[in-house]
A and B are shown apart, each in its own frame.
Chain A
Amino acid sequence: MIEGLAALYIFLLAGFTGFEIISRVPVILHTPLMSGSNFVHGIVLVGAMIALGIAETTSQQVIGFIAVLLAAGNAVGGYVVTERMLEMFKTTGKQDKKGAHK
């Protein structure tokens, strides 16, 4: 279990990490990156599985089931769409140079 101050540390450091990742991104990758980060919060699937796992009553199970259903949609859909977008950024020889963009 992560509690109190330790969690605050994690929140802050993760927050700075997120800022750092985005701050130097060419516009060309904004949509794929939004899609990619959309995939990453698909980790909610793990929490949804636990929520359904600890469900005791039928109503909790129903809501837990919905949680897993939606979370799996987020994770899988986010991956498929991002992968399809990035598939198009195949490099062909001379395009390897990155100088054309900042």
Chain B
Amino acid sequence: MELIIQISYLLAAVLFILGLKQMSSPVTARRGIHWAGAGMVVATLVTFAAEEITGNEQAATNVMLIIIAIALGGGYAWYTGKRVAMTDMPQMIAMYNGMGGGAAAAIAAVELLKAQAAVQSGYASSVHDYLGADVAVLAILGAIIGTIAFSGSIIAWAKLDGRLNSSKLLPQQQLINLVLAVVLVILAINVYLSGSLNLIIAFFVLALVLGVFITVPVGGADMPVIISLFNALTGLAVGFEGYVLGNAAMIIAGTVVGSAGTLLTHLMAKAMNRSVSNVFFSGFGTGPAAAAAADVDGTQKEVQPQDAGIMMAYASQVIIIPGYGMAVAQAQHKIWELTQLLTEKGVKVKFAIHPVAGRMPGHMNVLLAEAGVPYDMIYDMEDINADFPNTTVTLVIGANDVVNPAAKKDPASPLYGMPTLNAEASQNVIVIKRGRGTGFSGVENSLFVADNTRMLFGDGQKVANELIQAVKEL
């Protein structure tokens, strides 16, 4: 039986890797998740037959508890996952990721409690004596990483879900975090050397607090990077706990996610011209530069939807730049309808997606795909930036920082150095925006007051509808 279980785990690991590989191409992506899903089912089912579960006195109770827990946890996730709107996807990923991190930490907690029980009964002298040095070290490391990913992901979820807006917690937050991290390491070493229950509890509580403290000051625009990082961390924690339990499937899957997630995090941070340490250790735009660059001269000029519709209907090429505002307004279906109308009139329409538009890389692609936009109309930043001068009208809907020319021109701007879409280079720019406020970074946008820019104020979906009417009436 043991052999069958091990071979099944190996099969699951292979299915995960092949599944992820297929997910990296749009054509095979769906098959990829199905393969990975099959791997998960196989691994879960054979585990019920594992010696660790069937081979002890309380097997009946524990198997019952396992089934109940899977039904409850899985049922909750199934329900929320099916119901959540596409726009709220990022925070749900954060939530499910946090659950995984918490599970890895809880596995470590069970191991540590077993060691503590052994120490208390005099069977072993310390945690590392009971578990062995290598297992003890990885169990504790996995516990730290998993716990931080757990509480951090919950905070990320709360921030993205609009339940927590504050970015300020305590004065000297960085210093406090540093002190807490040092104390946590000291606690971890003492847990390793002893087997005290109080130490173990203090260790977990402190790791929870640290996860919260690290995440709260992170600005909303940096959230995708943080979620991706926590995703990688959870993978790592799972890999470590896999070693603790001697489980090859967990080691392989966890480590693959750990390294893939690290690379993905790096790619995202690079796309925003931020380093990962920068994201963590400096609040965005809190330096003196933010104030200096905030002045933008000029006025925003409004345009009526009818006029904007005419401009687009007689254009030779229109580029649409969607941002998080489109997601909030759920305007992607209307935008696609507008696109189809324009295409019928012989206008060439393209979508330009900034790598970090929305709250996650690819967030806009997912929304446009949901609306039915074929993905060969959608262009990445580097593919389309040279095309803006040949464009009659660029329609910006709910995007702000990713089209801010200050990122290229103004060294004093907090956005300086971030690659942006060259919307300002096109002949006309129409900006659909809810109000006159600044973008997520809080930086003023000189594009909005440029001579060739016209503003369309209002809810994205409503304005898109008005544009559709305007084009239809022609």
Task: Using CB atoms and an 8 Å cutoff, list the residues of chain A in contact with chain B.
Answer: 1-4, 7, 10-11, 14-19, 21-57, 59-61, 63-92, 94-98, 100-102
Contacts and interface: CB of A to CB of B under 8 A. Distances in A.
A50 B99 contact: no
A81 B25 contact: no
B375 to A, nearest CB: 6
Contact of A22 (B30, B106, B113, B264): B264
A101 B360 CA distance: 19
Interface residues of B, number: 122
Contacts of B53: 49-50, 53-54
13 contacts: A2-B251, A18-B257, A34-B261, A37-B231, A41-B100, A42-B96, A43-B238, A44-B100, A45-B44, A49-B50, A54-B53, A66-B106, A102-B380
A42 B66 contact: no
A14 B239 CA distance: 10
B25 A98 contact: yes
**By CB atoms of chain A within 10 A, which of B100, B228, B263, B369 has the most?**
B100
Nearest to B110: A51
Given A22-B264, A33-B23, A42-B40, A48 B256 contact: no
Given A65-B65, A89-B369, 19 more contacts: A2-B246, A11-B251, A14-B259, A19-B263, A25-B24, A28-B375, A32-B366, A37-B20, A38-B93, A44-B254, A49-B47, A50-B52, A55-B58, A56-B117, A68-B103, A70-B99, A73-B74, A83-B30, A98-B25
B319 interface: no
A69 B68 CA distance: 8
A21 B260 contact: yes
Contact of A14 (B99, B134, B227, B256): B256
B362 A30 contact: yes
A2 B249 CA distance: 11
B142 to A, nearest CB: 10
B458 interface: no
B56 interface: yes
A74 B92 contact: no
Contacts of B17: 17, 21
Main SS of chain A's interface residues? helix
B239 to A, nearest CB: 7
Given A18-B258, A57-B113, A36 B263 contact: no
A60 B256 CA distance: 29
B400 interface: no
A69 B66 CA distance: 8
Q: What are the 9 closest A-B residue pairs judged by CB atoms, nearest first? A: A80-B81, A18-B259, A77-B77, A53-B53, A72-B73, A67-B106, A74-B100, A100-B376, A18-B260
B161 to A, nearest CB: 15
B191 interface: no
Interface in B3-32: 9, 12, 16-17, 19-21, 23-27, 29-30, 32
B254 A19 contact: no
B386 interface: no
A64 B106 CA distance: 7
Given A32-B362, A81-B89, A37 B261 contact: yes
Given A14-B255, A42-B100, A64-B106, A54 B81 contact: no
A89 to B, nearest CB: 5
B52 A21 contact: no
Nearest to B80: A77
A64 B110 contact: yes
A75 B245 CA distance: 19
A77 to B, nearest CB: 3
Contact of B69 (A23, A52, A57, A100): A52
Contacts of B379: 100
Nearest to B55: A53
Contact of B30 (A61, A71, A73, A86): A86
A53 B5 CA distance: 16
Contacts of A84: 81-82, 86
Contact of B62 (A53, A72, A85): A53
B365 A27 contact: yes
B106 A30 contact: no
Contact of A79 (B33, B50, B268, B360): B33
B102 interface: yes
Contacts of B231: 34, 37-38, 41
A90 B96 CA distance: 25
A21 B24 CA distance: 7
Contacts of A61: 61-62, 65
A70 to B, nearest CB: 4
Given A11-B251, A38-B231, A85-B366, A47 B242 contact: yes
